[in-house]
């Protein structure tokens, strides 16, 4: 059944700057550790002084694939007070690199030492409310002084156990679906981006100019990730020893004689470049997740470098992409741990298709159709990262998602817009149902598909 509660998530909660490789396993845990540090700092000083140890227990897919995703490093970083937006991604990679590395966690005047053996990959536990659960326990004299349970619910979002829902703000254009957006647009004669931006002004309490500034920062970060990826060669970190290939493909594209090959190779290389940066744990933008962080940057780079699109139009397309991500997250999920890769790469591809369509001035119906087509053909896509690293199949899958997005845009923009029989809301519902019926082996646990075949075949 479609959810009728209006969406009150900000565009900037979908698009977050932070280190790779995983929004749910890196950014979310870092934020959870930061939230626990804040909790510690609110304790009376005498209680803080009693704390001798801090232990962190990781459950579900955080336990299964957390090592490959750098979850333990992200937790130490969060406890050190680092934030995903501003942390130095290279310093983050060096945390816990050497056996015996230890860190002083400061909450007020007291310091508690945390080492690798304070972070426990604890498998599955009974009665977990959410698969990606983190429990923090601070103890002293054999007693628990304070504890916290957090859930990493995908896309870098976290929730704390017992956390109360904030009162929903009254938005000028409440919506929870694409059909509602269509109606608002028709009744009030507003373009899609204007509906979203007017809501965003209320949601984040900032002026239009400030919102545009933040959008520009995100667009710049995305393009920088592509540039960095194209300029870097060598092996990605981890046991797979996967060679980067964006730079090689890009060079090949520049010398390709055939212009169709050149176009596709460039689009592929852009997506690979940002996805490889993510796989290397460097700075990216969740779009809507880190695992799928190559698709929208590839489209942004394409529109800037090859279509010479102006910033204003680019922002408008970007906001249309956000609308698609918000609806998918609200009515289904963008978490690989909940619905498999259809929620990550599938949704990113749909967002990118909507971006292309809106930025190229198609009708709202065609924007919706582009997103629907792109998501429809990712339905059922499982999440099976080899060795728990966001590398195989994730990186190439970003390239495929970018190409699908372009194709979705082409299929939707050429021809009669009302010809599409499936709506975007219907395909999101199909994704939700498919995800609910998918075996947990295919939800970021590295227990099925390629993850198993790579080891055993």
> Given the rule CB under 6 A, which residues bind ligand SF4?
291-292, 336, 341, 344-345, 383, 385, 390, 393-394, 397, 444
Nearer to ligand SF4, 23 or 177 (CB): 23
What's the closest the beta carbon of residue 66 comes to ligand SF4, in angstroms? Answer: 12
Nearer to ligand SF4, 110 or 398 (CB): 398
Contacts of 368 (CB under 8 A, 6+ apart): 178, 182, 354, 420, 423, 424
Is residue 293 a contact partner of residue 275, using CB atoms and an 8 Å limit? Answer: yes
341 versus 359: smaller Cβ distance to ligand SF4: 341
Radius of gyration of the chain from its Cα atoms, rounded to whole angstroms: 22
Helical ranges in 231-291 per DSSP H: 246-255, 259-279
Whether 412 contacts 168, CB under 8 Å: no
> Which residue, 373 or 394, has its beta carbon nearer to ligand SF4?
394
Kindly tell me which of 78 and 393 has the beta carbon lying closer to ligand SF4: 393
> What's the min distance (Å) between Cβ of 260 and ligand SF4?
27
Alpha helices per DSSP H over 256-393: 259-279, 295-305, 311-331, 336-339, 345-359, 364-376
Least Cβ distance, residue 239 to ligand SF4 (angstroms): 16
CB of 288 to ligand SF4, least distance (A): 11
Rounded to the nearest 10 degrees, how much is the dihedral formed by the CA atoms of 284, 288, 292, 298? -70
Q: What is 158-205 written as a DSSP string?
A: EEETTPPPPPPP--SS--SSHHHHHHHHHHHT--HHHHHHHHHHHHHT
Contacts of 442 (CB under 8 A, 6+ apart): 340, 382, 383, 384, 448, 449
CB of 155 to ligand SF4, least distance (A): 11
- Provide the CA 383 distance to its chain's centre, in angstroms: 14
Mutual angle of helices 311-331 and 364-376, in 10-degree steps = 50
In the complex, the smallest distance separating the C-beta of residue 139 from ligand SF4, rounded to whole angstroms, is: 33
Closer of 363 and 440 to ligand SF4 (Cβ): 440
Here the tokens at position 436 are 């609910």
Residue that has been written with the tokens 């004669």 in this structure: 189
Rounded to 5 degrees, φ, ψ at 49 are: -65, -25
State in angstroms the smallest separation of the CB of 443 from ligand SF4: 8
- Residue 130 to residue 157: CA distance in whole angstroms: 13
Q: By C-beta, is 78 or 155 nearer to ligand SF4?
A: 155
Name the helix (H) or strand (E) containing 105. strand 102-107
Adjacent-strand bridge partners of 445: none
For residue 299, the minimal CB distance to ligand SF4 (Å) is 17
Whichever of 84 and 291 has its CB closer to ligand SF4, that residue is 291
Tell me whether residue 34 or residue 393 sits nearer to ligand SF4 (CB atom).
393
Between 73 and 135, name the residue whose CB sits nearer to ligand SF4. 73
Quick one: 176 or 335, whose CB is closer to ligand SF4?
335
Q: Cα torsion for 218, 311, 412, 332, to the nearest 10°? A: 20
Which class for 257: exposed (0-12), middle (13-18), buried (19 or more C-beta within 10 A)? exposed
Pairing of strands 143-152, 102-107: unpaired
How far apart are CB 353 and ligand SF4 at their closest, in Å?
18
- The nearest distance, CB 449 to ligand SF4, in angstroms, is 9
């Amino acid at each position: 059944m479609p959810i009728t509660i209006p969406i009150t998530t900000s565009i900037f909660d979908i698009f977050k700057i932070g280190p790779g490789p995983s929004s749910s396993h890196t950014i979310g845990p870092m934020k959870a550790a930061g939230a626990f540090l804040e909790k510690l700092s609110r304790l009376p000083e005498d209680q803080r002084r009693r704390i001798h140890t801090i232990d962190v227990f990781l459950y579900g897919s955080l336990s299964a694939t957390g090592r490959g995703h750098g979850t333990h490093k992200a937790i130490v970083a969060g406890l050190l007070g680092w934030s995903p937006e501003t942390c130095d991604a290279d310093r983050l990679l060096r945390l816990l690199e050497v056996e015996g590395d230890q860190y002083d966690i400061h909450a007020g005047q007291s310091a508690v030492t945390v080492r690798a053996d304070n972070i426990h990959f604890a498998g599955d536990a009974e009665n977990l409310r959410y698969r990606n659960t983190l429990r923090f326990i601070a103890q002293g004299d054999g007693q628990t002084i304070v504890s916290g349970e957090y859930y990493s619910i995908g896309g870098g979002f976290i929730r704390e156990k017992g956390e109360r829902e904030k009162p929903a703000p009254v938005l000028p254009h409440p919506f929870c679906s694409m059909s509602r957006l269509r109606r608002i647009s028709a009744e009030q004669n507003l373009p899609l981006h204007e509906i979203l931006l007017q809501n965003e002004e209320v949601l984040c309490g900032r002026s239009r100019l400030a919102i545009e500034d933040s959008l520009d920062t995100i667009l710049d970060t995305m393009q920088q990730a592509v540039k960095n990826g194209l300029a870097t060669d060598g092996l990605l970190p981890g046991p797979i020893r996967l060679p980067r290939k964006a730079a090689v493909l890009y060079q090949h594209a520049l010398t390709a004689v055939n212009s169709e090959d050149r176009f596709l190779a460039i689009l592929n290389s852009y997506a690979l470049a940002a996805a490889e940066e993510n796989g290397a744990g460097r700075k990216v933008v969740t779009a809507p997740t880190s695992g799928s962080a190559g698709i929208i940057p590839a489209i942004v780079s394409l529109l800037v470098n090859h279509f010479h699109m102006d910033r204003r139009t680019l922002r408008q397309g970007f906001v249309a992409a956000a609308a698609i991500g918000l609806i998918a997250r609200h009515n289904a999920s963008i978490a690989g741990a909940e619905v498999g890769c259809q929620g990550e790469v599938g949704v990113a591809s749909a967002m990118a298709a909507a971006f292309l369509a809106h930025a190229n001035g198609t009708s709202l119906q065609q924007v919706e159709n582009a997103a629907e087509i792109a998501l429809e053909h990712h339905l059922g896509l499982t999440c099976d990262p080899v060795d728990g690293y966001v590398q195989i199949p994730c990186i190439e899958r970003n390239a495929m998602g970018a190409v699908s997005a372009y194709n979705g845009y082409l299929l939707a923009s050429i021809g009669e817009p009302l010809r599409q029989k499936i709506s975007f809301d219907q395909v999101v519902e199909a994704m939700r149902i498919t995800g609910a019926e998918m075996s947990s082996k295919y939800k970021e646990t590295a227990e099925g598909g390629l993850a198993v075949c790579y080891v055993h075949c």
